Structure 1
């Protein structure tokens, strides 16, 4: 009854909080939704005659009926509690700060909710959650070890982020010689840099109101290197990729002809020379304001050369190769970052699609996404950002054709259902993109498409935030 009271008549803007400290247990799963064959339970005081409350029941009562805009925070200090609400997203923090977010497959999640539900539990499903005696961290009475750890961290740092709170609680318990490992799971994908307690979130400074309506711009660059001999560096599908990508911009996302700029080396007026590429990048970002949507596509050769400023772990800068590279040189990832990323203000969004070799980190964005082979696990690693701290203010998302140590293939006419030669990555993008697809699903589908088609390259995704 108390659980139903908690969620009754909940509406957008409400913050609900549920804490449980007591026995947790497991029982046989009867509906086949548990990979280990066991439902997690909490154990009421009358369990001997009334039974336990299963994770299925908890999810049905607490989560399933909550509307969008409601925040439910759940803290469970009990044994076997890692997945006690059957939430679809499970967060793991590995050594070195790598974050691994595992998502359940759709058929494993019952009655998805639109609410923001976050659960912090005392231990893994396979572990027990201990009591802490008098004296631990100033306790004057016996208490749960997990509740003590939560109090110890949140009182000292009320605006602790999800990431910091989980890490500090684990550190505290480990230092006190407890083996239990607190777990974090959620109903929606979490921004782990946000405050665990939403009330502690600092006021958001809204971007300055634009003095004009939002602008949309798209730049597509396709280079077949017609200056080179066939078989000695000349490509066949990159100009066609430009036609494909402009078609996607117009048909899927509603860009107008006047909003699109194109460089291609079969037209003397729009040759993709080094100077023209850099000038077009300045056109793309010039005057950008909050609300603007920008799109950059490149299909051509990608290269690498020795890193001159020591900012690359692998010792190499990734490059784009203009049509006049033999005398004008290549375009470094450092230049791309300074020309494309740094000028953009908060509230502006830039999409970048690079169909070229050695392109995995070609914009040097700080966040890199890695998917497990089955697509359930998303690992987000953060590298040191270039330039001043927080120099990437805009929402920048890049999808690239392959890892830094891989090549990105051409597709001949007739392959992969194409009528003309094209880039394999651009073809995969065309097959998988829609106006409603999520970043996760787009990356997963593109990888599946290329793998089934016999290509070894693995598209990458990175972002500025």
Structure 2
């Protein structure tokens, strides 16, 4: 029988020692991960992993993903969820049209999209991956154009949608540009070495699993934190409706999008081996 394997990551803080004194404080990301854990547990996944804030280091997440690749067999379902800041680093291997690599902002350092793709490429053919990334610039967790959406009207629109009644303190899940630049400058040798050590071939082209990503926003948008859940995760949970939702992944995505404000539009994408059968399945079903 197929098994379910869940890895759920949520960070409410990062280490200021790595990020130029910035702690990246958020409120709801750990709760987002906890809610994904609850779904996986209720769905009787055989393995459910939760990695929060200080434990969510680069080494720990790469180790967890390697373990999933070792364990998962054809037909198994890998639920991979991330809630936290999204960042950008200069593209060093010329595989990005905008010269920026996208990142997950982990506790002790950024995890580059190329590293995520390399880890996913280790999964066996026939493994199904359902991935949620509630972070900024997360449309594909690979291609992006930075856009600051704190302009006129954005906060008022979000205030109509979120639990949080205080729009003037709205938190977005982006790393400030000045912090991003200084973080790279202070750790340039480290990140350049990481990029230099990655395979020259595009790992996406070698991915044998089917990876279905529903992201928190488009590549050029920002994802919003909230008082109880991130905006994307909050609406995902409403559509899921404690397991009452019975449609396909595409229908699931469309219904989430309907609940979102125009400035944050969740994306839907497939990498690896296409599988219409997987797309037609109900989310979280092993």
After TM superposition, the score normalised by the length of structure 1 is: 0.42
Contiguous gaps of at least 5 residues in structure 1: 1-212, 365-385, 413-420
Indicate the residue corresponding to 1:240 in structure 2: 31
Inter-partner Cα distance in structure 2 for 1:222 and 1:462: 22
1:432 aligns with 2:239: yes
The structure showing larger relative contact order (alpha-carbon pairs under 8 Å, at least 6 residues apart) is 2
Aligned residues: 209
Contiguous gaps of at least 5 residues in structure 2: 144-200, 275-286
Q: Which has the higher helix share?
A: 2
Inter-partner Cα distance in structure 2 for 1:348 and 1:232: 36
1:265 aligns with 2:53: yes
Structure 1 ranges of 4+ moved more than 3 A: 226-229
Instruction: Return the offset for 1:436.
Output: 2.3
Q: Is the 8 A contact 2:13 2:23 kept in 1?
A: no
1:285 aligns with 2:69: yes
Indicate the residue corresponding to 1:461 in structure 2: 268
Q: Is the 8 A contact 1:318 1:404 kept in 2?
A: no
Inter-partner Cα distance in structure 2 for 1:305 and 1:388: 18
Inter-partner Cα distance in structure 2 for 1:216 and 1:255: 8
RMSD of the TM alignment (CA)?
2.4
Residues 154-204 of structure 1 deviation map (CA, whole Å, 9 limit, x = unaligned): xxxxxxxxxxxxxxxxxxxxxxxxxxxxxxxxxxxxxxxxxxxxxxxxxxx
Inter-partner Cα distance in structure 2 for 1:302 and 1:432: 24
Q: Secondary structure at the match of 1:437?
A: coil
Q: Which has the higher strand share?
A: 1
- From 299, 304, 312, give the equivalent of 2:88: 304
1:396 aligns with 2:211: yes
Map 1:348-359 to 2 at 5 A: 348-359=127-138
Q: Secondary structure at the match of 1:422?
A: coil
- From 335, 345, 348, give the equivalent of 2:115: 335
Residues 344-392 of structure 1 deviation map (CA, whole Å, 9 limit, x = unaligned): 222210110000011112157xxxxxxxxxxxxxxxxxxxxx6379522
Find the structure with the greater CA-based Rg.
1
Change beyond 3 A, Cα 1:215–1:410 = same
Instruction: Return the offset for 1:290.
Output: 1.0
Q: Secondary structure at the match of 1:286?
A: helix
Indicate the residue corresponding to 1:26 in structure 2: none
